Structure 1
Amino acid sequence: MSANTLPEESPSPAPEAPPLIPTQSGTLELHDITIIDRSKLKKAISAAALGNAMEWFDFGVYGFVAFALGKVFFPDASPSVQMIAALGTFSVPFLVRPLGGLFFGVLGDRFGRQKVLSMTIILMAASTFCIGLIPSYASIGIAAPILLLLCKLVQGFSVGGEYTGAAIFVAEYSPDRKRGFLGSFLDFGSIAGFVLGAGVVVLLQSLMTEESFLSWGWRVPFFAAGPLGLIGLYLRHAAEETPAFQQQLDQMEQDDQDDVENRPRISFKEIAKQYWRPLLVCIGMVLTTNITYYMLLTYMPSYLSHNLHYSEDRGVLIIIAVMIGMLFVQPVIGLASDRFGRKPFVLFGSVALLVLSIPCFHLIVSGKIGLIFVGLFLLAIVLNCFTGVMASTLPALFPTRIRYSALAASFNIAIIIAGLTPTIAAALVDSTGNLYLPAYYLMLVSLVGIATAIFMKETANKPLRGATPLASSKKEAKELLVQSYERLEQGVEDLDAEIAKLKEQIEALELRKQQYIDLHPHLD
């Protein structure tokens, strides 16, 4: 290197340091590891899963009776426009979900998860129940679809804090080694809600004429939200606050009483700046999972009846059979993720979605019931790869103090796009006549899933970010303590290596500085 040549190298930024674990004495000891009471854990999972089941009960019912809602609330339109309009009413509430996510996320981080989940289930049950009360277009004219939209908007606002809050509630209660298995029951509740909603629709259609179903039968499933909501509210009110949130409050109270009374707020802009990578991973995973979810479980009943000309009851029965199969696969994926990790399932599911979408739709459009079932069930297993790990993966991305706010905001930003899936798919197929467009749509989404899997960090069998380990027994707590010490030792070694790199970079900068000085006649 000549004397007049300056080095161009710049020091690379140091990697993000692992979050510190709050402890009572400063040193991580056995008493810092929380042993979860089994009865409290069961209450927490039941309370969270039932509320989520009710949310997806409504989504399932809405998808399965979309043809009826189109005729009741948009009677002057053509059948195709009726279907698109009904599914559009399903999609519009997703636009307000980020507002609900921000609102309930801030409340959840300030006042606790349990209180917010009690609020969301009340709003959700009331708005769903009110859909069943809305008069038809023939009775009150344009006010009917407007009221339907208002109920769906309230629903969307409440759901904005529902899934993320329930996922956090379960994750913060689950022992580290069982978080995947226990978290999988949250989406088990989602699928069960779909099955229940579809089953109610099939039962009603088999017991009454189409005229009676269009007249009043479609309202019955929405009325069921009333008692389901009361049961869910009771369970959530009986559940205690999560150990992780209570631990944060205790730590803040120990540091300064004012911190508890004036809990710090952090804007989404600050969250995005500091936690941009977890936010992108969250958005990618939610997009991949929910677009597949809505395509398979919300849009496909309409696709089978409207585009493939199956009777509504036959299409619904096929979807019900697929979802029952998903119920058996769901906890198996969750259990396996505790052993093999979450990341392999996200990657495998994304690659499978890319490879299998066209073959599966080839089976679906074949016109043979057996082949239709095989095509849908293969896609359902791919979906299980995502739903089986999502509830345990997402809460682990953020620390306790901002977990609800960050997760609810990023989750519901992605949901805006995912929620448009039934409407976009219906419009594309109707306008082009190409029955394979939903498959192309899924293939595009699979690329997002692959990128997400590549960039996400493995969280299986590890404590939630910034929280002490959670165990199901004293024996397990001792084993987790040893593992925690090993991770701390590895962390020290990694930081030592980074410090050595930084020293080399500092020396290079000092050399560069001296070169500048040497070139200037008046600098020492």
Structure 2
Amino acid sequence: MTDQAQEGTARSGPREPDQAQVRKAVAASAMGNCIEWFDFGVLGFMVATMGAQFFPAENSFFVWEGKEAVLAMLAVTFLVRPLGAAVFGPLGDKLGRQKILALTIIIMSGSTFLIGLLPSHGTIGALAPILLVSLRLIQGFSAGGEYGGAATFIAEYAPDKKRGFLGSWLEFGTLTGFLLGAGSVTVLTISLGEHAMESWGWRIPFLLAGPLGMVGLYLRTKLEDTPIFQEIEAKHEVDKAPFKDLMTNHWQGILHLIGIVVLLNVADWVLLGYIETYLKDTLKLTGDFPLLVVVLVILGMMAVIIPVGKLSDRIGRKPLLMVSCAGFILLPIPMFSLMGQDNPVTLVIGLTVIGLLLVPLLATIPAVLPAMFPTQVRYGAFSIGYNTSTMLFAGTAPLIISQLVKSTGDPMVPAYYLVGAGLIAAVPILLLPETAGMSLRNVVRSTQAPLPATALGR
């Protein structure tokens, strides 16, 4: 072998980033998730306020009004997430993860910021909810390329034996964002009062997304692309038609992924996107207590999620996923029964158990899902599968559950919904191979069928 060939091989061989680069990659990735869930936290804790501002009772333009209209808007905007995934995911496989993640964070934070500037229905009539839904559609479109790319970015930067630990920081960002969103609403409501909050204070949390997005953009533009993606670039193995390849050769893996994250999406949105409305409307709790108890549970989840992620590197991802799945099959009904006893202590216990059951899912999924696909289609396959499941089961959950509770009068509907999601996810989780400690480079070598020379641009 010539010196030039040896040099080329060295350049294209495995290159491990230093710890400082890994920390920056984790922070940059988690920041986007933080912004996305900051927005959800704000909306989730201001459902009544946003309903009054944009979907008042006298508005006959939309089918729903008030709170139900806001929940319907959340469900509708999830329809565009798979479209965003189909656009941004394959672009991330073709052009690189870093470029696309910088773009998605600009669009996400910018659309959230602009919501804070919108005139209300009282000012411009039916145009106000139209503009709100339009910005939410833009935000949902960009979010379709965010989570899959962020998880891929961390996974491809992380050392093999620390992928669970480092990946769990992505969902720490989720909880942090939701806590910041919910917390900002709580603090503003207490300090400003409900009248000022409904008049102008509701804008402040949305405007905060602007500076958060600038911080995230700065972090992402200061990083190189992942070492694994740079390797396939150096070897000219970047797929020139990743969307066609993933839909042709990896559709079974995408379906498997959809089945696994059904439970994650439903549990996420029952706990984070709907529970505050449930506590107020169904359990008839008043004052600031519903806000404070949810914040307390989220703080507890944040305290344990990183240790659980680290544990998955030691004992494997699959045992933790199975424990969580079994828990969601067995425990939601007794826990929601405790929550409905009109006792603050039993309420906190029931909600805390549901939150802790969600933690193993949150902590392990960012490490599990990237290992299901080879590098050439990882971003796209992950994003399309994840966001298809999100469209079908996540954004629709608050609306469907609230409608079922209203029509049946049964406060246990959220529990039944969680049990159903656990039963659906049980089979794909059982079929999942253990990937703890496995190199993502080995996914390319062992599970990917050889791509045609034209696809690789050779």
Same fold (TM > 0.5): yes
| Matching residue of 2:425 | 449
| DSSP-derived class of the 2:331 partner | helix
Please tell me the residue identity of whatever aligns with 2:258.
Answer: I
Please tell me the residue identity of whatever aligns with 1:307.
Answer: T
How far residue 77 of structure 1 moved from its aligned partner, in angstroms, is: 6.0
* Contact 2:162 2:313 survives alignment (8 Å): yes
Matched, 1:281 2:256: yes
* Contact 2:16 2:227 survives alignment (8 Å): no
Query: Which structure has the bigger radius of gyration?
Result: 1
How far residue 465 of structure 1 moved from its aligned partner, in angstroms, is: 5.0
* Contact 1:41 1:173 survives alignment (8 Å): yes
| Matching residue of 1:170 | 154
**Equivalent runs, 1:11-50 vs 2, <5 Å:** 32-50=13-31
* Contact 2:30 2:169 survives alignment (8 Å): yes
The 1-side partners of 2:391 and 2:23 are apart by 32
* Contact 1:285 1:390 survives alignment (8 Å): no
| DSSP-derived class of the 2:69 partner | helix
The correspondence for 2:52, drawn from 41, 50, 71, is 71
Please tell me the residue identity of whatever aligns with 2:397.
Answer: T
| Matching residue of 2:366 | 391
The 1-side partners of 2:271 and 2:112 are apart by 22
**Equivalent runs, 1:416-427 vs 2, <5 Å:** 416-417=391-392, 418-427=394-403
How far residue 365 of structure 1 moved from its aligned partner, in angstroms, is: 0.9
How far residue 280 of structure 1 moved from its aligned partner, in angstroms, is: 2.2
Q: Deviations over 1:45-66 (max 9, x none)?
A: 0101111101100011110001
How far residue 407 of structure 1 moved from its aligned partner, in angstroms, is: 1.0
| DSSP-derived class of the 1:308 partner | coil
| DSSP-derived class of the 1:216 partner | helix
The correspondence for 1:336, drawn from 308, 311, 330, is 311
The correspondence for 1:125, drawn from 100, 103, 109, is 109
The 1-side partners of 2:41 and 2:124 are apart by 26
* Contact 1:64 1:201 survives alignment (8 Å): yes
| Matching residue of 1:186 | 170
How far residue 277 of structure 1 moved from its aligned partner, in angstroms, is: 3.5
| Matching residue of 1:12 | none
The 2-side partners of 1:431 and 1:168 are apart by 41
| Matching residue of 2:455 | none
| DSSP-derived class of the 1:96 partner | helix
How far residue 328 of structure 1 moved from its aligned partner, in angstroms, is: 1.1
| Matching residue of 1:463 | 439
Calculate the TM-score normalised by the size of structure 1: 0.80
The 1-side partners of 2:107 and 2:228 are apart by 26
How far residue 267 of structure 1 moved from its aligned partner, in angstroms, is: 3.5
* Contact 1:95 1:416 survives alignment (8 Å): yes
| Matching residue of 1:249 | 233
| Matching residue of 2:328 | 353
How far residue 276 of structure 1 moved from its aligned partner, in angstroms, is: 3.6
Calculate the TM-score normalised by the size of structure 2: 0.91
| Matching residue of 1:496 | none
How far residue 141 of structure 1 moved from its aligned partner, in angstroms, is: 0.7
Please tell me the residue identity of whatever aligns with 1:97.
Answer: R
The correspondence for 1:294, drawn from 257, 263, 269, is 269
| DSSP-derived class of the 2:285 partner | coil
Q: What are structure 2's unaligned runs of at least 5 residues?
A: 448-458
The 2-side partners of 1:63 and 1:312 are apart by 16
The 1-side partners of 2:443 and 2:145 are apart by 22
Matched, 1:271 2:227: no
| Matching residue of 1:143 | 127
CA RMSD between the two structures? 2.1
Please tell me the residue identity of whatever aligns with 1:323.
Answer: I
The correspondence for 2:78, drawn from 71, 75, 94, is 94
| Matching residue of 2:341 | 366
> Bigger CA drift: 173-182 or 275-284?
275-284
Matched, 1:152 2:133: no
The 2-side partners of 1:440 and 1:320 are apart by 24
Q: What are structure 1's unaligned runs of at least 5 residues?
A: 1-23, 253-258, 470-487, 492-524
* Contact 1:347 1:450 survives alignment (8 Å): yes
Matched, 1:412 2:412: no
* Equivalent residues, number: 436
The 2-side partners of 1:285 and 1:465 are apart by 23
How far residue 468 of structure 1 moved from its aligned partner, in angstroms, is: 8.4
